Amino acid sequence: MASVRMTIELKEQITEAYRRQCQTAYNAEHDVDKTINTVTSKILDKAGPQFQQLVKTAEDFGKQMIDHDARYKKHYSQSTYGYTYTGGSINALGNAAENCVPIRKAYQLWMVCNPARPITENLTTLADWRVGYESKWSEQWEDPSENFVEGDMAYLHDFGDEPIYMPFVTSGEETNYQAKEDYAPQINLAVVISDPEMCKVLQEIPKAKKKASDMVEKFKQFIEPITTLKKFLDEFPGGKGLVPDDKLQAMAAPAKKRATTSTVKADDLLTPDLKQEFNEVMLESTLLGDNK
């Protein structure tokens, strides 16, 4: 078994995988994922078959572009080293099929939850929304956006490694660089959640994030002094799923034998003439010593 050192990069990779695992566990505990699935399903249902056809067309286009790229990728200009065929532009995107799809999957879902809003607003969209805040520059109070309703709370759900196609992309920020407060969300586009039951579940998102954050901090303290991957897995056997596959494979490989450094003897460095000269000097030194 080869020794794999726990580098800073490897520790960060393992810690990030642990964070995602904690978040998933807490989301499942509070039925957050179930509610998010309901929200996204209703949005996709409302988008109708036209959007599903658009997704299929886009994915087919991506596959065809990959085939086109494979067929003509050797056609380039020797003078400019620039590709001169239709698919050349996709090379900068890594040649992955998904990168060739003209529409992108959503990795996040921003929501504004408030059961005090009319139920008719549930699952509609809200643009250019923000909370009120105290300016860190003027120290004056800045009023919230006109579409802010008392009781509004912004929630962010991260799809993680399982992004989905949505008919629109929500976006926002949890902090405002102009705000004195650490938490002053502002949103470009969000989905309104006014259904009381949905709001009750989604209110657990920040709590789940806080719990996951606390667990990650403890995990960082645990992993910090560990120097090898074997030691980590000995201390935390359940952590195998957090380790990148290439590191597990590297650890499973047979250990390389260390090259032994041969001891260099004086006889290996001396020519016959030098040996004779040294012997004569040593003999003379001995005789002189005896004379004393």
Whole-number Cα distances in Å, 129 to 33, 43, 173, 180, 260: 25, 20, 11, 18, 68
Rounded to two decimals, what is the model's pTM?
0.65
Distance CA 107, CA 264 (A): 62
Is the pLDDT reported for residue 206 higher than 50?
A: yes
Distance CA 184, CA 179 (A): 7
Confidence of residue 41 (pLDDT cuts 50, 70, 90): very high
Distance CA 78, CA 70 (A): 19
Residues 18, 22, 23, 27, CA torsion sign: positive
Instruction: Give the per-residue pLDDT at 92.
Output: 42
Instruction: Give the per-residue pLDDT at 146.
Output: 96
Instruction: Give the per-residue pLDDT at 86.
Output: 52
Q: Are strands 133-134 and 141-142 parallel, antiparallel or unpaired?
A: antiparallel
Distance CA 120, CA 195 (A): 9
Q: Are strands 153-158 and 141-142 parallel, antiparallel or unpaired?
A: unpaired
**145-193 confidence digits (pLDDT tens):** 999 999 999 999 988 778 999 999 999 998 888 888 877 899 999 999 9
Average pLDDT across the chain, whole number: 80
